[in-house]
Structure 1
Amino acid sequence: MSRAAEETNRRMLRARDAMDRAYAQPLDVPALARIAHVSPAHFTRTFRATFGETPHRYLQRRRVERAMFLLRETGRSVTDICYEVGFGSPGTFSRTFSDIVGRSPRAYRQEAGRTADPTGPASPGVPTCFTMAWTRPRA
């Protein structure tokens, strides 16, 4: 791998790490491009080539992954979770969640078998690693 390619990968990782840390904050491509020290158009092209998805889709997926955890592990309302993970409206959250996971947030919570008790096991008798693999969102 060339030195230029390594530097490009480092810059994209820096931006992706910023997205992982601040997933619930309003992030836009120009701000992320500034973190990577490239133009917005170049950032979008390079991010997609590096990680296989656009920055916007990556951020949506990270938000949905966090929402999945909160839906499984807490009894908080879907609306509260929607705003906590960074979505601006419950409708957008529900539509995006359904696109990525394949079912609505409420259906996901029911299938996860959780109650409002955050201390109980997610699926009695099933190892956590299997639960995480089965509930991972589609790419």
Structure 2
Amino acid sequence: MRLEDLVRLRRARDVMDREYARPLDVPTLARGAHMSPGHFSRTFRAAYGETPYGYLMTRRVERAKALLRRGDLSVTEVCFAVGCTSLGSFSSRFTELVGETPSAYRARRHDAGAAVPACVAKVLTRPVRNGVPVRNGEPVRNGEAESTAAS
């Protein structure tokens, strides 16, 4: 992969990180990266191990978890605050990544993480599909994470 492509992909990823609540789609992100939508999607997945949509939804779910922990917004309000336009799609993706519904997550106590600095909490609470870490779009199986981390 060319260095110029990696720089453009990083900029697109930074846009998703900063502007996750805006309506973002692959054609818009690809245009900003000066790539065709197909090339953008393929190179993004090759560079980051997930599709642009998957990455954006993971960022949105991360932000949603923080808002739900506060407890002052309804699930619907959180859904729209993080840039999702469909409560059903948001709830499905949230449940897939977190392993419980947004309502169940909101209702649960979150005192244990209150003393953890935000930068650490972000890493520890990063959504993963059904509680299973994902690498290159595939679930990491037992023992596989340790063996590849050591190599």
Q: Out of 47, 51, 68, which is 2:48 matched to? A: 51
2:57 corresponding residue in structure 1: 60
Q: TM-score, normalised by structure 1?
A: 0.82
* Offset, 1:110: 2.5
Q: Are residues 1:106 and 2:103 paired?
A: yes
TM-superposed deviation, 1:49: 0.2
Contiguous gaps of at least 5 residues in structure 1: 115-121
The alignment's TM-score, normalised by the length of structure 2, stands at 0.76
Deviation at 1:108, TM superposition (A): 1.2
Q: For the structure 1 residues 13 and 90, does the alpha-carbon distance in structure 2 shift closer, same or farther, using more than 3 Å as the test?
A: same
Q: Residue 74 of structure 1: CA displacement?
A: 3.5
Q: Distance in 2 between matches of 1:37 and 1:28?
A: 14
1:135 to 125, 135, 146: 125
Listed as ranges, the matches of 1:72-83 within 5 Å are 72-83=69-80
> Any gaps of 5 or more consecutive residues in structure 2?
129-133, 135-151
- 1:12, CA displacement in angstroms? 0.3
The DSSP-based 3-state class of the residue aligned with 2:80 is helix
- Pick one of 64, 81, 84 that aligns with 2:81: 84
1:5 to partner: Cα distance? 1.9
